[in-house]
């Protein structure tokens, strides 16, 4: 028995309402905001009471510092080999290492390897939560600031020092002016609310990645003046140019070595001031990368090089230090590695090192461990005192997790340590830490001879390293009930989506194919390698589906001409698919391999621009013949489409000149000179405004034309539906939001839309209602994902393209930037959502045409009988309460089935991804593969499916009725 259409609609609507609820509920359990210990650390926190052991004896309120000033120089994306390798441009820095004036390390940066969480690690010593990855892109976010957290910068300000800053404005968000002079934390001296955190500062936006020079010159211009001053205790410099070069040309790009030499020159400038200026006699230089970069020049995940930046301490003081080893430089990485030079430490280890060298307490939330390479700066007793302070500070973090009973258990272990030692170490994290701290307490209670001191130092390091490992791994605790609730909600959404289908049996080839694709995709979510290389899933399944679809069409083809058209459509679809998949190599394993964009276009930029101009000309043709046809006079339509295309091309040309000048070179010099007075922001706004005005005009005139036709008037080009008119304007907008080398892909998109229309419109007249909709849903689903990946997308955070996120935006606007960012990274999938409506109307028209005569004589007969049929239709309408004609009912159901199919796939993929993240939450790649994939699943479900597919697609569908 047929189910009520209203019930089916309610089930589908409820399913789509539950999807965002499921996503957000699961996310709150999987990505909890990491808590932190409040207040600033003091020496009282780490002083033992009641012990006379020399290693942890009470200290002065503020011990003498080795250094009284620090220059903290961050070079964004400074991979270890850039400094230590044989092809490095840091020749002066390497000479400091050889002379003993610098101590080098490779610092491990835990994923996500983007700037904000890495700066948090370098300043607090903690492991930021994965939520900071999202906050890294939200420039308006204030919840991610460090104003209320303990950092080494806040410690400097607490003791009366001042901090100056120049560079990446991420630091200005992390340390806002609303902070007090003491960092705005409990337990610190009163500060003045609203006082700037930095005494002097000059920030630079990090997201306009085409700038290699000005973004660094804006930092360097301050350095000589600041080195001449003595009113600051810390100067933070954050250079961005090297990272931008990596994003644009990769680590082997022509601009990389000159930029390294430029940064090396800054090191020389600072070090020479340390040698010659009296007030810099006790100044420490820290050279650090916040993260590295992979072979493609990007970062965000855990790929080779992304997690291995350089870390170096430099000062003339180190030359007189008792050294445990000497360093050769340049050198080769450790055997079996690519970027592991010298000792490999955690980025968080920087915090206790700075605290020890500058005579400050270690920040409260630090998970860092003192670097043994620095031991020569202090005599033995003081070194063990510092280790003890570090251990007691980390003990506070451990105690916060395991409770106050931890101390009692450790003291019990210390009382029977010899028995525990004979039994061997415990396996559980808490038990292991209890035993290791108990061993520290045991050696503290011994006489303090040479052997005992050595065993104490060994025990301290054992506890510190274990605590760091355990607390780093448990930095984000999961809320399992919330995660299960999210999965249950997604499962309910899937059940409702399936129940919303008018019928499920027999499924047909399309239904079986769609089900298999959904199930295979869900299974694939449990394998990290498949997630990393997801593009191949879509690249291989798409030709297979097109082959099945073509075969079914050829079997039911009514004529030879129809068969030839089907074969031609199949050939065009496969040819364009093959070319599209070669445009951008993506994924992890082959991201740096040769492709059309990075290999062919870089060497043949003229050919690239000919293809780009051809794409714009085709779009202009469609604007003239489809978008504006019948709405404007031909002359006005020509002026409108030429103006739109001209504005878009000029902006694309000038933006590419700024973003990738090697792709423009000497092309269109006069045009660029003419448009130079108009900045890129104004040009983008002009293009967007023209598109918006055109869209409003088309909508208004199209509705006016529809009313005239309804009233008996004649409307020119009435066969063009409004959705098709808007489609070509949307295409122009998406081309504006796409990198220039990817614009020719829109030629392939149009070819595939037309060819797919031929295939889908050749369905037999006896097709079951809903079957063509599932065929359409399967085709659009596959091609949407194909074009997401072939335009350079992946499941790695490093593939997010920010270059077009600020088109026309002068000041940060979260809504505008969000829309532009999504449209630039999902341009292909958005385009296919609009194309789906066009293919739907084409199928509907074909289905309707099969019910009408075709010959001229039959048309005459129709004209003679039209009046009589009209009268009969009016009578039937009155009796049936204005029921919709059967053909329209059929295709209304088909669009309903299309939306239900897409909803079912999204619910399946979400449920699978949630289950994978839950089951594999202790997996090695949970934060490098599965968590980023969940963020992408969130974007696909909320952005692409709900906003674009359901809202925009259904809105366009309603305009076609």
Q: Is 14 left (phi over 0), alpha (psi -120 to 50) or beta?
A: alpha
Helices (H) and strands (E) in the chain, counts: 37, 8
158: tokens are 């607490």
What is the reported pLDDT for 112?
78
Which has the closest alpha carbon to 312: 83, 65, 86, 82?
83
Residues 205, 798: contact at Cβ < 8 Å? no
Give the strand order in the sheet containing 200-204.
200-204, 163-168, 234-239, 69-75, 283-288, 310-314, 102-108, 343-346
Beta carbons within 8 Å of 585's beta carbon, 6+ residues apart: 591, 592, 593, 594, 595, 598
Q: At what angle do helices 771-790 and 508-524 cross, to 10 degrees?
A: 40
Residues 146, 33: contact at Cβ < 8 Å? no
What distance in Å separates the CA atoms of residue 389 and residue 43, rounded to the nearest whole number? 8
What distance in Å separates the CA atoms of residue 958 and residue 961, rounded to the nearest whole number? 5
Residues 827, 734: contact at Cβ < 8 Å? yes
394: tokens are 């980390």
Please report which helix (H) or strand (E) contains residue 932, including its range.
Answer: helix 931-938
70: tokens are 């620090």
What distance in Å separates the CA atoms of residue 108 and residue 24, rounded to the nearest whole number? 31
Beta carbons within 8 Å of 547's beta carbon, 6+ residues apart: 570
CA distances from 502 to 630, 836, 841, 893, 914 (A): 38, 20, 20, 8, 28
Instruction: Print burial letters for 641-662: b (CB count within 10 Å at least 16), e (below 16).
Output: beebbebbbbbbbbbbbebbee
Q: At which residue do the structure tokens 């004979």 appear? A: 422
What distance in Å separates the CA atoms of residue 47 and residue 59, rounded to the nearest whole number? 8
What distance in Å separates the CA atoms of residue 935 and residue 919, rounded to the nearest whole number? 17
Q: Kindly give the parts of the chain with pLDDT less than 70.
A: 1-3, 32-35, 47-63, 128-144, 178-194, 206-211, 324, 420-426, 448, 473-477, 592, 709-718, 762-771, 811-812, 842-893, 960-961
Beta carbons within 8 Å of 589's beta carbon, 6+ residues apart: 532, 533
Beta carbons within 8 Å of 256's beta carbon, 6+ residues apart: 82, 89, 242, 245, 246, 249, 250
Instruction: Print burial letters for 162-197: b (CB count within 10 Å at least 16), e (below 16).
Output: bbbbbbbbbbbbbbbeebbbbbbbeebeebeeeebb
The DSSP symbol for 150 reads -
What is the reported pLDDT for 825?
93
48: tokens are 């033992």
């Amino acid at each position: 028995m047929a189910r009520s259409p209203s019930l089916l609609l309610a089930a589908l609507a409820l399913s789509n309402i539950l999807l965002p609820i499921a996503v957000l509920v699961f996310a709150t359990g999987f990505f909890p905001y990491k808590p932190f210990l409040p207040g600033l650390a003091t020496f009282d926190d780490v002083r033992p009471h009641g012990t006379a052991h020399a290693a942890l004896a009470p200290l002065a309120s503020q011990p003498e510092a080795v250094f009284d000033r620090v220059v903290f120089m961050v070079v964004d994306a400074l991979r270890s080999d850039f400094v230590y390798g044989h092809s490095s441009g840091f020749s002066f820095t390497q000479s400091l290492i050889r002379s003993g004036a610098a101590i080098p390390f490779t610092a491990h940066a835990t994923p996500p390897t983007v700037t904000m969480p890495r700066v948090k690690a370098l300043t607090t010593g903690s492991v930021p939560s994965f939520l900071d990855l999202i906050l890294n892109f939200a420039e308006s976010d204030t919840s991610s600031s460090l104003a209320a957290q303990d950092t080494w910068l806040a410690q400097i300000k607490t003791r009366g020092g001042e901090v100056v800053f120049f560079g990446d404005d991420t630091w200005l968000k992390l340390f806002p002016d609303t902070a007090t002079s003491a960092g705005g934390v409990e337990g610190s001296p009163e500060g003045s609310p609203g006082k700037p955190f930095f005494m002097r500062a000059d920030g630079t936006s990090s997201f306009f990645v085409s700038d290699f020079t000005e973004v660094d010159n804006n930092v360097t211009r301050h350095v000589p003046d600041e080195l001449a001053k003595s009113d600051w205790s810390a100067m933070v410099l954050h250079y961005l140019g090297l990272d931008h070069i990596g994003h644009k040309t990769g680590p082997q790009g022509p601009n990389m070595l000159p930029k390294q030499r430029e940064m090396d020159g800054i090191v020389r400038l600072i070090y020479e001031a340390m040698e010659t200026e009296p007030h810099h006699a006790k100044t420490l230089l820290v050279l650090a990368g916040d993260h590295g970069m992979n072979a493609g020049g990007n970062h965000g995940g855990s790929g080779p090089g992304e997690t291995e930046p350089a870390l170096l301490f430099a000062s003339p003081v180190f030359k007189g230090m008792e050294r445990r080893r000497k360093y050769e430089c340049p050198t080769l990485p450790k055997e079996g590695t690519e970027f592991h030079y010298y000792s490999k430490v955690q980025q968080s280890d920087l915090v206790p090192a700075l605290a020890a060298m500058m005579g400050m307490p270690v920040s409260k939330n630090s998970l860092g461990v003192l670097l043994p390479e620095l031991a020569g700066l202090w005599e033995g007793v003081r070194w063990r005192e510092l280790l003890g302070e570090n251990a007691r500070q980390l003990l506070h973090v451990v105690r916060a997790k395991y409770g106050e009973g931890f101390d009692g258990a450790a003291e019990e272990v210390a009382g029977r340590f010899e028995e525990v030692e004979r039994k061997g170490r415990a396996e559980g994290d808490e038990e292991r830490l209890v035993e290791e701290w108990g061993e520290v307490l045991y050696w503290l209670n011994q006489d303090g001879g040479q052997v005992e001191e050595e065993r104490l130092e060994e025990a301290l390091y054992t506890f510190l390293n274990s605590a760091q490992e355990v607390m780093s791994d448990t930095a984000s605790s999961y809320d399992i009930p919330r995660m299960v609730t999210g999965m249950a909600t997604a499962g309910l959404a899937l059940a409702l989506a399936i129940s919303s289908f008018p019928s499920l049996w027999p499924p047909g080839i399309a239904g079986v194919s769609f089900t298999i694709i959904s199930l295979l995709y869900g299974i694939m979510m449990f394998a990290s390698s498949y997630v990393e290389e997801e593009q191949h899933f879509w690249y291989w399944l798409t030709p297979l589906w097109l082959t099945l679809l073509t075969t079914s069409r050829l079997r039911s083809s009514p004529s030879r001409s129809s068969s030839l058209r089907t074969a031609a459509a199949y050939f065009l679809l496969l040819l364009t698919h093959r070319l599209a998949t070669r445009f951008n190599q993506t994924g992890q394993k082959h991201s740096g391999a040769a492709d059309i964009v990075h290999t062919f276009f870089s060497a043949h930029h003229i050919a690239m621009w000919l293809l780009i101009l051809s794409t714009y000309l085709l779009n202009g043709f469609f604007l003239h013949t489809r978008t504006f046809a019948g709405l404007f006079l031909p002359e006005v339509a020509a002026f409108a489409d030429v103006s739109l295309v001209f504005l878009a091309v000029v902006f694309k040309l000038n933006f590419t000149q700024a973003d990738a000048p090697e792709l423009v070179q000497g092309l269109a010099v006069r045009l660029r000179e003419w448009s130079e007075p108009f900045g890129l922001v104004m040009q983008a706004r002009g293009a967007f405004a023209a598109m918006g005005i055109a869209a409003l005009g088309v909508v208004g005139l199209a509705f006016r034309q529809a009313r005239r036709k309804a009233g008996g008037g004649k409307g020119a080009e009435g066969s063009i539906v409004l959705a098709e008119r808007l489609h070509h304007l949307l295409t122009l907008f998406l081309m504006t939001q796409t990198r220039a080398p990817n614009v020719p892909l829109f030629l392939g998109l149009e070819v595939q839309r037309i060819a797919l229309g031929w295939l889908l419109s050749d369905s037999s007249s006896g097709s079951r209602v809903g079957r063509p909709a599932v065929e359409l849903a399967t085709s659009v689903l596959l091609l949407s994902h194909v074009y997401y990946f072939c335009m350079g997308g992946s499941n790695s955070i490093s593939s997010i393209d920010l270059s077009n996120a600020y088109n026309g935006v002068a000041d940060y606007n979260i809504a505008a930037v969000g829309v532009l960012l999504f449209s630039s990274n999902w341009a292909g999938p958005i385009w296919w959502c609009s194309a789906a409506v066009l293919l739907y109307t084409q199928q509907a028209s074909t289905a309707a045409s099969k019910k009408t005569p075709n010959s001229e004589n039959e048309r005459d007969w129709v004209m003679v009988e039209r009046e009589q049929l009209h009268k009969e239709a009016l009578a039937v309408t009155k009796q049936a309460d204005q029921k919709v004609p059967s053909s329209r009912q059929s295709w209304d159901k088909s669009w309903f089935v299309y939306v239900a199919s897409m909803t079912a796939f999204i619910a399946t993929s979400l449920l699978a991804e949630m289950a994978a993240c839950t089951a594999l939450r202790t997996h090695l790649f949970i934060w490098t593969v599965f968590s980023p994939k969940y963020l992408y699943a969130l974007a696909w479900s909320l952005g692409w499916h709900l906003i674009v597919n359901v809202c925009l697609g259904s809105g366009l569908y309603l305009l076609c009725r």
